[in-house]
Amino acid sequence: MTIVRPQAIERPLIELDQVSRTFKVPDGTITAVDSLSLAIGSSEAICIVGESGCGKTTTGRMLAGILRPTSGRLRYEGQDVWAKKGHELSAFRRAVQLVHQDPYASLNPTRTVFQTLAAPIYRHKKAKGGRDATNRVRHLLEVVGLAPPDDFLVKYPHQLSGGQRQRVAIARALTVDPRVIVADEAVSMVDVSIRISLLNLLLGLRSEMGVSIVLITHDLAVARYFAREGRIGVMYLGRMVELAHSEALVSDPAHPYSAALIAAIPEADPRITRSKDRVELRTAEVPSLLALPAGCAFHPRCPLAEPGLCDVDVPALLPLPGTAGREVACHVAIRERQPAAELLA
């Protein structure tokens, strides 16, 4: 079977190939991410969404090379990252930057904005001398919308708002000229009123500097806005269950779990939100990662589940027949050649 992929990722910049990651916990071993593959192209804006415990943060940390997969490969420009050493490895570490969720915790409270941004510039020899470094810091502050920059150079994190801190954290990621930024819930902790401007800032880095951005979020509305020209991947209990173009995913979800999520989201529109069609799940209980059900992990809750099929084999993420570049891990949707949203209607 030939796999249809969007053009941008025929030659991926960064790629997870069948990666799994397990963690030892007091009661046993959990598989936080299981056999996940994801190829990301240059200057792509992609979102990974899912509820807590789905493995989205672990996936982001593996992409950023912070967490080593238990099995599978992380490739950057076609080369196995964990086989790299020395200069090659540090080049990868500069190329892929992680922006954390909590701007209150990720900035050193005893350092001014200038000190925070100048340190990596000096360490990675991105400037020739002090004046050049200062100019570079000023430029970065302008790029992230902290203008005029001289107002911010000598500020400490506690003198900044949550949104401003997150902009400093993004500026810090930019000091080393990255090609990929992994932003884990980067807008969740800032006030609703300023989230869009932060998302626009990240999107601007993509269009103006060609940086690929992987936004990890639990909020599908944020994902849709951010990836409106790109793809969204939906994770459930360690697996990618759907990967599709953002508009296709929100208007016609192919996996029953995506369909349930989209139906459940309240909307800031009383008429729409009070008349939304619901997807009734068979149970509200989420299985424990310590005791995942056999077959498809979603089958105990899934309204489309078929005994003898869904509780036996784990469905692979496969192209949905008749669609362009949509992939879904659902036996029923693949067999019926239809998105789950239509099968549930």
Residue numbers at the binding site for another protein (CB under 8 A): 51-52, 161, 163, 191-198, 200, 218, 220-222, 224-225, 228, 250, 260-262, 264-274, 276, 281, 284, 286
- Residue 115: count of CB within 10 angstroms of its CB: 14
Helix (H) or strand (E) holding 214: strand 212-217
Distance in Å, CB of 156 to another protein, minimum: 17
* CA 176/CA 120 separation, integer angstroms: 7
Distance in Å, CB of 84 to another protein, minimum: 37
Distance in Å, CB of 161 to another protein, minimum: 5
> Closest CB to another protein among 118 and 187?
187
Helix (H) or strand (E) holding 239: strand 239-245
Distance in Å, CB of 198 to another protein, minimum: 8
Looking at the DSSP bridge assignments, the partners of residue 30 are: 23
Distance in Å, CB of 299 to another protein, minimum: 16
Helix (H) or strand (E) holding 192: helix 192-209
> Closest CB to another protein among 138 and 224?
224
3-state secondary structure of 180: strand
- Listed in order, strand segments (DSSP E) in 14-62 are 14-25, 28-40, 45-49
Reading the block at residue 274, the tokens are 């009070």
> Closest CB to another protein among 92 and 298?
298
> Closest CB to another protein among 119 and 263?
263
> Closest CB to another protein among 191 and 306?
191
- Residue 14: count of CB within 10 angstroms of its CB: 28
